Amino acid sequence: MATPIKLAIIHYSSTGTIAEIAKELHDAGVKAGAEVRLLKVAELAPQAAIESNPAWAAHHTASADIPEATAEDVEWADAVLFGTPTRFGNVSAQLKQFIDTLGGLWAEGKLVNKVYSGFVSSATAHAGQESTLLALYNSIHHFGGITVTPGFTDPQKFVDGNPYGTSHVDGQGTTPVDDVTRAAARIQAERVVQIAGALKTAA
């Protein structure tokens, strides 16, 4: 494309599963021709809680060099991919807190007509993946944003089975991100870039 789509991938990851999916989305977005920012949101949990879980502590250290997202990153983007683990069937507090800081941009109409999509992980199957994505998309409706889900737009989507966004069951860290999840992420990133590109061209 003549002018690359600007894609922000903004995520929260405690033990690294969502971060790994975010990296897969990043690579697929770049391959699709987008200019991509890979960003995390601020950690809200106390250090003692982080240190009580070795996987959480390890990822916290390993991800220290990933930039923290700001409202400017969302304003910059043509498309935003939000990632979160499930928290009681809902968006993590860390990602929700970041979204709540976007009120100023919302009031100025600067969140409208952007493309948004989401990705999620949970420890067990049927643990709120779909409800988490639907809850996330409630905010997008208020933004006046355009929700672009992967749907069943590719035969591979019938393998992972989630039309709402990329999702993975990590089994409390015992099930690494696999080829099925990576394929779902690739499809989602390509579709987000494609639709954002079509909207930008038509504008």
Closest C-alpha to 117, from 66, 70, 81: 81
CB 130 within 8 A of CB 178: no
Closest C-alpha to 41, from 81, 94, 85: 94
**Amino acid letter for position 28:** A
**First vs last C-alpha separation in the chain:** 15
Q: 6-202 maps to which CATH number?
A: 3.40.50.360
61-70 pLDDT, tens digit per residue, is: 999 999 999 9
For residue 49, give the 3-state DSSP assignment: helix
pLDDT means over runs of 10, the chain (203 residues): 89 97 98 98 94 93 96 98 97 98 98 98 94 98 98 96 96 92 98 97 86
92-141 pLDDT, tens digit per residue, is: 999 999 999 999 999 999 999 999 999 999 999 989 999 999 999 999 99
- pTM for this entry: 0.97
**Amino acid letter for position 111:** L
User: Which letter does DSSP use for residue 173 in this model?
Assistant: G
